[in-house]
Structure 1
Amino acid sequence: MLSRLLREHQARQSERRELQERRRREAIAAATRLTEALVDHLNVGVAQAYIGDVENWARSIELDMRTIATGWSNIYPKGQLQPACS
């Protein structure tokens, strides 16, 4: 009788441990998926903002350089020497 009760108790304990371990693995997997989804979502927003700013900055610099080059070419046409500074 006692040995039967002990075996039943051990079997229930084993089932509980397996259930607890399965739930722990599922919780870890769910937390990992959530974390990855959050990071991906944040990275997309950051990448769009960062790349957009870089593209805007590059366009602005390019426009400034073209304006400067046009100004210099209007002031000093090709082949004309620049006056010496005094």
Structure 2
Amino acid sequence: MLSSMLKDHRNKQRHMKEAQEKRRQDAVAALYKFNEGIMTSINSKVSAAYVNQCQLDNEMKQLIVQTMRFNKLTTQWASELNSFQTALKELGDVENWASSIEKDLQLVTESLEFINKNNLT
């Protein structure tokens, strides 16, 4: 009787251990699936963030290149504008000089006409 009770007890313990081991394995499997799902979700978000960052880096490089081109072009335009302004000033100086010469020549012409008129009379 005692030996059969001991045998039953050991069988119950073995069944309990087996059931507990099965539950532990099920829990580990469930935890693995949960962890895999979380990591897949996180990895996809990290991957998307990385792709976006790479695109932003490429666009920033293109923007830097375009900005450098724009600065170079702006510098050229400013130089051309300064040259044009200098040419306009020179043209104004030439026009003023020509007007002054014209007035002097008119004065000389009038003086010569006056002298010539006085000599003839």
Please indicate, yes or no, whether the TM-score normalized by the shorter chain is above 0.5.
yes
> Higher helix fraction: Structure 1 or Structure 2?
2
Task: Provide the residue aligned with 2:59 in structure 1.
Answer: 59
- Number of matched residues? 75
- Range with bigger deviation, 36-45 or 51-60: 51-60
Is 2:61 aligned against 1:47? no
1:13 Cα deviation after fit: 0.7
Question: 1:1-86 alignment to 2 at 5 Å?
Answer: 1-69=1-69, 72=72, 75=76
1:64 Cα deviation after fit: 2.2
The structure showing larger relative contact order (alpha-carbon pairs under 8 Å, at least 6 residues apart) is 1
1:71 Cα deviation after fit: 5.2
Q: What do the CA deviations read for 1:20-70 (whole angstroms, capped 9, x no partner)?
A: 011011101111111111111011111101210221221221232144246
1:73 Cα deviation after fit: 7.1
AA aligned to 2:42 is L
1:19 Cα deviation after fit: 0.3
* Percentage of identical aligned residues: 28
AA aligned to 2:16 is R
Is the radius of gyration larger for structure 1 or structure 2? 2
- Range with bigger deviation, 48-57 or 64-73: 64-73
Find the aligned partners of 2:23 and 2:40 in 1 and give their Cα distance: 25
Q: List runs of 5+ in structure 2 lacking aligned partners.
A: 77-121
